[in-house]
């Protein structure tokens, strides 16, 4: 029974709880037991919220029995990335500089999840301040991939991806500045969606790069991802960059199929050096879409290849400004010094990890006198060119298709000493962040080593309904089994 509960999707759990077949407390307890059984090998969570989760679930059960109204995700366990503020509950961003910090308020996404009665079972591990592609940059130790615990789960939302893949929770919340939802989703064999910029509020999301950051859903099915996005999307008066119009209907068109839909295959990405297993996964997706009646044709994004260069100037520049708030004065760590300036500089050197320092330094340099025009301003011009490429592509296509990541999950330690190699993990994902457009990663089978392969679907701004519809059709056709299997998988763990 317990195993069946953790295997279930959010949709299935909602149906079972709604029919009175199972109580929210049983559902949540089953997932907490699963977390206890897998966590020693995976380290997906920085903090498991056993007691508050069970109390929330008991409250859901009580209100259901009393006939009181319940939210759209009532009783469904959810893994929350530890970069969203939770009132009174430690929020670390995977950084020593925020160790012990308890925010005085909830992020809008957290408040909406609570209003939807989703039960937050824990806060998940991440690369420090969401800077990384492997979750190895967490100050509190790496997360491991449920498919092979000698490998990374991707990042920066590696904790949420691993938790969803390991059946610790059917739903996860991640954030994506340059691929941090989609790349770990691909490496862990789950669905991950980066929404249109502004569709989900950033209020209470600890800022990394404000013109790129978005919060989005992770799940084992497309329908669950759509359901979760629907619960958190929409305008927020507390975020002046949130889109003013109501969120589009995400579920209505989900099963309409793809007959006649025009899919653009990104030619530059095909010519690029992706791993053979990724190439094979992409070919499976193309064949499946053609069988379903979609028209697949090559399309070009001539400037997408400059995306990484532009991104690694723009994102660090914004980060260097955003992270100036960690000054040892208002919250978090302080290392004493004779002057305020010395105290701040010592605090930041002690509190930030190597990758965060690297990016603060790149950004500070790129914005400094004499370099601004050559670096930051030029990168912003490339951003314009990439947006124009997308606009031209969408004149002849409804969605674009390509790989999510050049390879499958790599061993821990393989890229940690080569920052540029690590950055190139994001080569296919950053263009959508630069354009502010939605993109989704979907599992498309396994490579020869038994590791999940992800394909990426992209759409114009607010094209989420189309994106989810294509993903849903592809998911049904590809029939991916999300159960991690193999000698070093979390399935070897005996509860």
234 near another protein, judged by CB under 8 A: no
Smallest distance, another protein to C-beta of residue 280, A: 29
**DSSP characters for 394-446?**
TTT-SEEEEESSSSS--BTTSSTT-HHHHHGGGTTTHHHHHHT--EEEEEEEE
Select from 211, 270, 296, 488 the one that contacts another protein (CB under 8 A). Answer: 211
Smallest distance, another protein to C-beta of residue 346, A: 5
Select from 43, 182, 383, 415 the one that contacts another protein (CB under 8 A). Answer: 383
Q: How far is CA 271 from the centre of its chain?
A: 27
Select from 146, 204, 328, 465 the one that contacts another protein (CB under 8 A). Answer: 328
Smallest distance, another protein to C-beta of residue 398, A: 20
Of 1 and 244, CB closest to another protein: 244
Of 51 and 336, CB closest to another protein: 336
Cα–Cα distance, 108 to 237 (Å, whole number): 10
Q: How far is CA 16 from the centre of its chain?
A: 28
310 near another protein, judged by CB under 8 A: yes
- Please count the residues of this chain forming the interface with another protein, following the rule CB under 8 A: 73
Which residue is catalytic, options 95, 134, 156, 432? Answer: 156
Select from 1, 67, 330, 494 the one that contacts another protein (CB under 8 A). Answer: 330
Of 51 and 417, CB closest to another protein: 417
372 near another protein, judged by CB under 8 A: no
Of 313 and 457, CB closest to another protein: 313
Of 53 and 434, CB closest to another protein: 434
459 near another protein, judged by CB under 8 A: no
Select from 89, 251, 296, 387 the one that contacts another protein (CB under 8 A). Answer: 387
Residue with tokens 């790349």: 183
Cα–Cα distance, 210 to 177 (Å, whole number): 9
* Residue 201, CB-side half-sphere exposure with 13 Å CA sphere: 23
* Closest by CA position to 218, among listed 30, 416, 454, 49: 454
334 near another protein, judged by CB under 8 A: yes
Which residue is catalytic, options 180, 201, 320, 405? Answer: 180
Residues 6+ apart with CB under 8 A from 368: none
**Using an 8 Å Cβ cutoff, are 314 and 306 in contact?**
no
245 near another protein, judged by CB under 8 A: no
Select from 168, 224, 327, 447 the one that contacts another protein (CB under 8 A). Answer: 327
Helices marked H in 157-265: 158-165, 182-188, 222-232
Site string for another protein, 64-103 (x = CB under 8 A): -------------------------------------xxx
Cα–Cα distance, 247 to 142 (Å, whole number): 35
428 near another protein, judged by CB under 8 A: no
Site residues for another protein, window 349-368 (CB under 8 A)? 349, 352, 357-358, 360-362, 364-366, 368
Smallest distance, another protein to C-beta of residue 83, A: 16
Of 296 and 335, CB closest to another protein: 335
Which 3 state secondary structure label does DSSP give 46? Answer: strand
Of 60 and 427, CB closest to another protein: 427
Sign of the C-alpha dihedral, residues 148, 152, 155, 156? positive
Backbone dihedral angles phi then psi of residue 159, each to the nearest 5 degrees: -65, -45
Active-site residue, 156 included: yes
Peptide bond into 322 cis (omega under 30): no
* Residue 85, CB-side half-sphere exposure with 13 Å CA sphere: 16
Q: Which stretch binds another protein (CB under 8 A): 39-47, 174-182, 264-272, 348-356?
A: 348-356
Cα–Cα distance, 180 to 438 (Å, whole number): 13
Select from 15, 68, 150, 240 the one that contacts another protein (CB under 8 A). Answer: 240
324 near another protein, judged by CB under 8 A: yes
- Distance between start and end Cα atoms, the chain: 13
Strands 439-446 and 45-48, bridge-based pairing: unpaired
Smallest distance, another protein to C-beta of residue 260, A: 29
Of 7 and 357, CB closest to another protein: 357
Active-site residue, 123 included: no
Of 297 and 329, CB closest to another protein: 329
Q: Which of 278-316 are b and which e, b meaning 16 or more Cβ less than 10 Å from the residue's Cβ?
A: bbbbbebbbebbeebebebeebebebbebbbebbbbbbb
Q: Which stretch binds another protein (CB under 8 A): 6-14, 114-122, 408-416, 430-438?
A: 430-438
Site residues for another protein, window 102-131 (CB under 8 A)? 102-105
The strand order across the sheet containing 399-403 reads 45-48, 119-124, 77-81, 171-176, 214-219, 191-194, 439-446, 452-458, 399-403, 262-266, 295-299
Q: How many CB atoms lie within 10 A of CB 192?
A: 34
304 near another protein, judged by CB under 8 A: no
Q: Which of the residues are catalytic?
A: 81, 156, 180
């Amino acid at each position: 029974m317990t195993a069946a509960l953790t295997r279930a999707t959010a949709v299935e759990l909602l149906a079972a709880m709604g029919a009175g077949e199972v109580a929210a407390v049983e559902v949540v307890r089953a997932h907490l037991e699963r977390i206890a059984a897998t966590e020693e090998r995976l380290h997906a969570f920085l903090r498991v919220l056993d007691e508050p989760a069970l109390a929330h679930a008991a409250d859901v059960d009580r209100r259901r029995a009393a006939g009181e109204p319940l939210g759209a995700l009532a009783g469904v366990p959810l893994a929350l990335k530890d970069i969203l503020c939770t009132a009174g509950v430690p929020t670390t961003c995977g950084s020593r500089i925020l160790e012990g910090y308890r925010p005085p308020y909830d992020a809008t996404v957290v408040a909406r999840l609570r209003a939807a009665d989703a039960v937050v079972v824990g806060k998940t591990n991440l690369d420090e301040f969401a800077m990384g592609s492997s979750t190895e940059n967490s100050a509190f130790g790496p997360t491991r991939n449920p498919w092979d615990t000698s490998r990374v789960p991707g990042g920066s939302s590696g904790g949420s991806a691993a938790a969803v893949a390991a059946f610790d929770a059917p739903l996860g919340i991640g954030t994506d500045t340059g691929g941090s939802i989609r790349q770990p989703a691909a490496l862990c064999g789950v669905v991950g969606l980066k929404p249109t910029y502004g569709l989900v509020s950033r209020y209470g999301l600890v800022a990394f790069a404000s013109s790129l950051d978005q919060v989005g859903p992770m799940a084992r099915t497309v329908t669950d991802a759509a359901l979760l996005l629907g619960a958190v999307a929409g305008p927020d008066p507390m975020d002046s960059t949130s889109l003013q119009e109501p969120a589009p209907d995400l579920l209505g068109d989900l099963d309409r199929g793809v007959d006649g839909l025009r899919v653009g295959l990104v030619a530059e990405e095909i010519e690029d050096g992706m791993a053979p297993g990724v190439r094979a996964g992409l070919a499976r997706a193309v064949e499946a879409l053609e069988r379903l009646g979609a028209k697949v044709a090559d399309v070009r994004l001539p400037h997408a290849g400059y995306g990484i260069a532009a991104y690694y100037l723009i994102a660090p520049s914004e980060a260097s400004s955003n992270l100036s708030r960690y000054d040892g004065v208002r919250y978090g760590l302080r290392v004493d010094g004779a002057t305020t300036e010395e105290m701040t500089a010592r605090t930041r050197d002690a509190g930030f990890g190597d990758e965060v320092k690297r990016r603060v330094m790149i950004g500070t340099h790129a914005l400094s006198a004499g370099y601004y025009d050559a670096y930051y301003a030029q990168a912003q011009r490339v951003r314009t060119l990439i947006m124009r490429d997308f606009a031209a592509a969408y004149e002849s296509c409804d969605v674009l298709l390509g790989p999510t990541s050049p390879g499958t999950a790599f061993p821990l330690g393989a890229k940690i000493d080569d920052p540029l190699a690590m950055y190139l993990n994001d080569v296919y994902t950053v263009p959508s962040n630069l354009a502010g457009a939605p993109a989704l990663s979907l599992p498309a089978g396994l490579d020869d080593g038994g590791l999940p392969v992800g394909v990426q679907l992209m759409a114009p701004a607010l094209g989420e309904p189309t994106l989810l519809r294509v993903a849903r059709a592809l998911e049904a056709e590809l029939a991916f089994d999300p159960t991690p299997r193999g000698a070093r998988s979390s399935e070897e763990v005996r509860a």
